[in-house]
Each structure stands twice: as C-alpha cells, then as structure tokens.
Amino acid sequence: MIICFVGRSKSGKTSIITKIIPILRSKGLKIAVIKHAHKDFEIDKPGKDSWKFFESGADVLISSPSKLALIKRVSSDDLYEVCKYFSDYDIILVEGYKKTCKRKILVAKNINEVKDIGIDPNTVAVVCDEDFGDLNFRDTEIKMFKRSEVEKIAEFIYSLFKRYKGLRE
Amino acid sequence: MIICFVGRSKSGKTSIITKIIPILRSKGLKIAVIKHAHKDFEIDKPGKDSWKFFESGADVLISSPSKLALIKRVSSDDLYEVCKYFSDYDIILVEGYKKTCKRKILVAKNINEVKDIGIDPNTVAVVCDEDFGDLNFRDTEIKMFKRSEVEKIAEFIYSLFKRYKGLRE
C-alpha cells in the first residue's frame, strides 16, 4: 500500500515518517520510503570509487552481504514506476508526489497552510497542530491529528493497510 | 555481459574501470558497474532525510526526474542476484567477486601478485606492468595488457561483448 505525506518544506513530514517507521515495523510490516526530489541530488561522496564510476558515465550498484545501493540515471520520476523496486513491501511511505498520489496525508504547521495546499478526494488525513476552526472535516472521511500524535497516525495507517489487504485477499 | 576485475586493493582496478567506461559508452553501449563491498558501507550522508529514514528501519529510494538512488537491506550479495538490477544493460563491469565470476580480468601491480592470486579457466586477461617472465600465457587464450593500455583493454572487452552477443542472437 502506498501512502504519501504531502505539505510544505519544514512542515514536519520527515520527522513524522521517521517516527512511524519503527511503530509499523514492530507490527511485522516491511516498510519502504520513497522521497521525491524535484531536481538532481547528491547521494554518494565525491572521490569514492562508486562516485567515480557514476561520474564516468556508468550506473552503479554497491553490493554487500547486508546492504545494497543502486544509483541509476532515469528519464522519469513516475511514482508508480519507481514503486516496482518495492513490490514485495507492505507499506510504501512517500514524501512528496502531491499530484500523483491517490492516498495522501497532508502535514501542515498551521491552518493557513492547510487552506493553501487544499484537500482533495485523495486526502485521507490532515496533520496540523492548530485548531481546525471553520475548516470542518467532520462530515468527511478525513481524519485529523496533531503532529505529536505519531502513535495514532501509525495506527491509522495500519488500519488503512488492513483494509487494503482485506480488499486484495 | 558480465566481466569482473579482480586483484588486490590498490592494484589499479578502479582507475582502469573508470577509464574504460567512456570508451565503451562511446560505442553506444549501456554500461553498469557493480562494486563488491565485503562488509557494510556508508553511502548516504548522516543527517540527511534519506539517511534518517534508513536508520529508522525502512529501505529507501530517492527519485528525481534524472536520477534514482535505492538503499536496501539484503540477506545476500550473490552477484547473479544483484545483476537483475541491470538486466537491460549491455556490459556490467564488476569490481570484486573473484570467486563467483565466470569471466575475469586480473589486475596486478607486479608479477608476484599475479602468481599469488593465480589464474584459472575463468581468467580471460591479465593486466600487469611488469614483464611476465616465466609466466607464459602464450599457449592459452589469456590476453596480456599493461595498466596504461586502457584503449586496448576496452577494445578487448568490446570484442568479448560482440562474441557474447553473437552467441545469444
């Protein structure tokens, strides 16, 4: 199951994802994270052998008995295309991909950010510390959480996962 | 086609691979490199979001329009298993995997290293700056190169690739 965390930079997405990973893993789930970078990014350390190979024009894989790292040129960042790398995972937590994601949690510092970004039919929850005021989601299916409620957010994602799995079985 | 560069640390494997990548790419070939690390390795930068996700227990993919990076826990470093990430590449240059590789080039600083490491039926070439002396490969199929002869080494690999491709067509 794919679930995306969307919201402004510095809204707390990374912190929430980092905290819910161990909670979901403790339920025996295999968890992956996909982070969307809008432009090219640095991952390897300049001067290292693997960096030299990539700079020379080859795509690179480093293989060890416990970990592998793959660094590859691509011509597309399509979410559902890159998800194939995690086909045998239970939950893929995604940071970004606001437009393409079909199941998303909006994280915002304040209610103005929620209004600016906006919710849509794919929004399943809103995480925001401020009172929702006149933004009333009570007639919708949208769940509301404070940013500190990581246990509750993890439980919510777990409940979505169980429903998703039930539908597929 | 998979071809492995084996030899001691500091024998010049990385330097040779780095130089032959652009030569092979200029022939229109899609090139990947697999580097074998005997133990866990550092790839990401501590403190970065992707590093935090991995440390929290999730496997991680960073996706951009031009590059992706995948960092994943594995339980095996089997060469032929990891090669599946490069199934649509022409040549996979491998650094390491001395024991499993079926087509290998031995790189050595001197003739003693060649003798110590030893050649076997899977060795297709030896790269060494010292004169081969009493090590006579002339009755075998093994090619000999100096470490500076990167153009010749690339041509040799290209000839192996053409033969390999011919056999598969």
The stretch B122-144 carries a mean pLDDT of 81
DSSP letter at B86?
A: G
Tell me the two tokens of residue B144: 């000999």
Tens of pLDDT, residues B71-88:
999 999 999 999 999 999
Contact call for B77 and A71, based on CB within 8 A: no
Q: What was the pLDDT predicted at A43? A: 81
Q: What was the pLDDT predicted at B139? A: 63
> Any idea where the domains of chain A sit in the sequence?
2-36+77-168, 42-75
pLDDT surpasses 80 at B134: no
Chain length of chain A: 169
The lowest-confidence range among A62-76, A93-107, A128-142 is: A128-142
DSSP letter at B80?
A: H
For the whole prediction, is pTM greater than 0.80?
yes
Chain pair A-B, CB pairs under 8 angstroms: 203
Band (pLDDT 50/70/90 cuts) for residue B133 is low
Q: What was the pLDDT predicted at B38? A: 83
A63 or B165, higher pLDDT: A63
B6 to chain A, closest Cα gap in Å: 15
For residue B77, the chain A residues in CB contact (below 8 A) are: 63-65, 68
pLDDT surpasses 90 at A80: yes
Nearest CA in chain A to B61: A34
- Could you say which of B14, B38, B59 has the minimum Cβ distance to residue A32? B59
B145 to chain A, closest Cα gap in Å: 21
Tens of pLDDT, residues A119-140:
889 999 999 998 776 666 666 7
pLDDT surpasses 90 at A17: yes
Q: What was the pLDDT predicted at A134? A: 64
B2-36+77-168, CATH topology level: Rossmann fold (3.40.50)
Q: CA-CA-CA-CA torsion for B48, A127, A103, B49, nearest 10 degrees?
A: 0
Sequence-separated contacts (24+) of B128-133 with Cβ below 8 Å: none
B16 or B99, higher pLDDT: B16
pLDDT over 90 for what percent of chain A?
75
pLDDT surpasses 80 at B160: yes
- Could you say which of B42, B45, B82 has the minimum Cβ distance to residue A63? B82
Band (pLDDT 50/70/90 cuts) for residue A47 is confident
What average pLDDT does chain B have?
Answer: 92
What sections of chain B are H helices per DSSP? 13-25, 49-55, 79-82, 111-117, 150-168
